[in-house]
Structure 1
Amino acid sequence: MSRTDLRELLQRYQQGSCTAEEKRIVEDWYHALGHERELHVTPEERETIRQALWNRIAEQTADLEEEPEDRAWFRAPAARWAAAAMLALGLGLGARQLWPVPARQTVGPPATAPTRWVVYPNTSQQVVSIMLPDSSLVQLAPASQLKYPRRFGAKYRPVYLVGKAFFEVRRDTTRPFQVYTAQVLTTVLGTSFSVQAYKGQKDAVVEVKTGRVRVTPRVAANAPPPKALPAPIVVLPNQQAVYSPERQLLARELVAQPVQLKPQSFVFDDRPVTEVLASLEKAYGVHIVYDAKALANCTVTLVLRKQSLYGKLEVLCKTLGASYEEENAQILFHGPGCQGS
């Protein structure tokens, strides 16, 4: 059988229009894939090739949310591997064509590919950069997968994530950018943020670097419907949303290490403590709650250039005999106050 004949047979098989005999031929290819002596590869190499081939097939056929009903047959494992075997053995794809794009290389949909969706799994050990159709940039972590349309529609820019990725979204107020995971939907107009939602992960985490995003809980496909989902929340820079499907709890928190968003000198020479706290608020975009009346007579002389936000707060607390805690993405500062002169 020539490559042209194989290609035509595969097409008919995918369309469900082949004869019973042709179907048997395709499925024989599937079963042949399981015999190492025919493929001349080790079990480890065979499994790697299988996974890579299925990813290639998924790019060309799968639209998990909008797949036509007449393609439901393709979800069957035997049919998937049959098509994969046809591509590998019948069309002569080389192994080097199946490996992931090198780490940090910017990749996008091939210009000539005929499909609506691109499925990109990062099977490497390094972060991979992916350029989306709207020029938004995604840093896809290892053991993660991103699915995105070859062309975004007129109303929305949806992508589907399993694992972890950092997004730098090109601003477009007419088409919100949407990141779907099994647990949450993250909606933005233009910002940078990360989403972490690996398969089997207990909580989903959305961390914002710039701009703002809206995080909405979702019900996983195989999960029982909850009594009531938490309301969506808006997350700002240096904040993160943490959603626990098990507890049906969506919380807003500060990130582990808030970054400085605006320049400040952090050199204070006999300055009011309230001025120090205001500078921290402005620099990190973090709201600090304190008793202004109790701290009205408190002044300090400090240089806080090198410390993190929490390091600066620790120095301030040690100087005053104060303490602080985090609650709902805010800092609650507790000071004993100072006597007036």
Structure 2
Amino acid sequence: MDQTDLRDILERYQQGTCTAEEKRLVENWYQALGNERELQLTPEEQETVRLNLWNRIAEQTIATEEDNPEDRSWLAAPAARWAAAAVLALGLGLGAQQFWPAAKPKVAGPTTAAVQWVVYPNTGQQVVGITLPDSSRVQLSPGSQLKYPRTFGAKQRPVYLVGKAFFKVQRDTTRPFQVYTAQMLTTVLGTSFTVQAYQGQKKAVVEVKTGRVRVSPRVVANASVSKALPAAIVVLPNQQAVYSPERQQLQRELVAQPVQLKSQSFVFDDRPVPEVLTALEQAYGVHIVFDSKALANCTVTLALRNKSLYGKLDVLCKTLGATYEEVNAQILFHGPGCQGS
């Protein structure tokens, strides 16, 4: 349930077309917050109130699950989130006042404005480019939504994602860049990576292109919590973090098609196999585990240009009668060895 759905339920309530259950929940929420008087807010102020309320509800949901994972409180129920739509969009009741910054006396010189958020939903069919306040770039995929502050703070750079986006982050060691999804928190200083975390998707994925990122799992409202959350992991280029909230399993894997990170000709003329494997390892940044002593007397003459990493390994294995497998983002190369001359 995203903010567009929340606006829809409120609009139906205002038009008198919502269900009896939705109407009851909306009115109960409004009564609970108090409606003794209305706040006279500008459209911009109402948007700030709505976003602040949305953030508070999301934080309360996560906090409740972390404190008592077995208790699926009313905040985790879709119907209750529909009820919260009334508060998020109306921005009228007395309860909204607690989320609005208290008025400060005017003083001479510059003043600090309340944090304002930009919500960008990509409802089209093409990827949309977005430039963030720190000049970081985002490629937002169709059916995705990004929320970010108009101005980043002094200590961190948080953004909120539903769906899929590619990030190219400006390096700033003093302000970590943080991508929040319902399932994961991805923290970086400066790098490029893709996050995919659509609503209803069983697994969330963070794929690193350059640099390194730290991926931490988060509690998910509809997950069956049976054990402690897995520890955070660091993900390097050509690796991806895959997190299953239901199974509470966070794994580091190689991406489907590792890209070449360093220049290499991949033409070998009667060269030792360990040299070939080392060249592949350095070019792709992928650790390859092999028995250097067993393969010391094995030499090959190969031209491996215009092939993927796995294509190169396939040719090498066919030549030697060897095999390989991927384990924890590493390649384990199994070769029979060669007799010495």
Once the two structures are TM-superposed, the CA of residue 62 in structure 1 deviates from its matched residue by 1.3
| Counterpart in the other structure of 1:261 | 261
Q: Distance in 2 between matches of 1:125 and 1:207?
A: 22
Amino acid across the alignment from 1:229: L
Quote how far apart the aligned CAs of 1:30 are.
2.9
Distance (Å, rounded) in 1 between the aligned partners of 2:328 and 2:11? 56
Question: In 2, distance between residues paired with 1:214 and 1:153?
Answer: 20
Distance 1:28 1:156, change over 3 A: closer
Match of residue 65 from structure 1: 55
The Cα shift of 1:141 comes to: 0.4
* TM-score, with structure 2 as normaliser: 0.71
Count, aligned residues: 265
Partner of 2:29: none
Distance in structure 2 (CA, Å) of the matches to 1:238 and 1:214: 14
Partner Cα distance (1:28, 1:146) in 2: 25
Contact 1:60–1:114 at 8 Å: present in 2 too?
A: no
Query: Letter of the aligned partner of 1:149 in structure 2?
Result: P
Alpha carbons of structure 1 residues 29 and 234: separation in structure 2 relative to 1, 3 Å: closer
CA contact (8 A) 2:115 2:151 kept: no
Task: Supply the AA of the counterpart residue of 1:262.
Answer: K
2:246: which partner in 1? 246
RMSD: 3.1
With over 3 angstroms needed to count, the CA separation of the structure-2 counterparts of 1:62 and 1:274, relative to structure 1, is: same
Amino acid at match of 1:217: P
Deviation at 1:153, TM superposition (A): 1.0
2:15 equivalent among 31, 41, 48: 31
Compared with structure 1, are the counterparts of its residues 169 and 250 closer, same or farther at alpha carbon in structure 2 (3 Å cutoff)?
A: same
8 Å contact 2:241–2:250 — kept in the other structure?
yes
Aligned-pair CA distance for 1:289: 0.3
Q: Distance in 2 between matches of 1:125 and 1:58?
A: 27
The answer to whether the 8 Å contact 1:207/1:239 transfers is yes
Task: Tell me if the contact between 1:164 and 1:197 (Cα under 8 Å) persists in the aligned partners.
Answer: yes
Stretch of structure 1 that moved more, 216-225 or 178-187: 216-225
Counterpart secondary structure, 1:65: helix
Q: What is the identity, as a one-letter code, of the residue corresponding to 1:167?
A: F
Distance across 2 between alignment mates of 1:245 and 1:61 = 28
Counterparts in 2 of 1:233 and 1:243: CA distance versus 1, 3 Å: same
Structure-1-length-normalised TM-score? 0.71
Consecutive unaligned residues of structure 2, counting only runs of 5 or more, are: 1-9, 19-45, 61-79, 92-112
The alignment-based identity, stated in percent, is 74
Q: Which runs of 5+ in 1 are unaligned?
A: 1-25, 35-56, 84-112
Higher deviation after alignment, 73-82 or 141-150 = 73-82
CA, structure 1 residues 140+58, in 2 after alignment: closer, same or farther (shift >3 Å)?
Answer: farther
Deviations for 1:220-262, whole angstroms, at most 9, x for unmatched residues? 2454655300000000000000001111110000000000000
Q: Which has the higher contact order (CA 8 A, sep 6+)?
A: 2
Q: Cα distance 1:170–1:292, how it changes in 2: closer, same or farther (>3 A)?
A: same
Q: Deviations over 1:152-203 (max 9, x none)?
A: 1111111110000000000000000000111110000000000000000000
Alpha-carbon contact 1:161-1:181 (below 8 Å) kept:
yes
Aligned residues of 2:48 and 2:117 also touching (Cα < 8 A): yes
Deviations 1:84-113 (A, max 9, x none): xxxxxxxxxxxxxxxxxxxxxxxxxxxxx9
Q: Do the aligned residues in 2 keep the contact of 1:240 with 1:252 (CA within 8 Å)?
A: yes
> Letter of the aligned partner of 1:188 in structure 2?
V
Please name the residue that 1:139 is paired with.
139
* Shift of residue 61, structure 1, vs aligned partner: 3.2
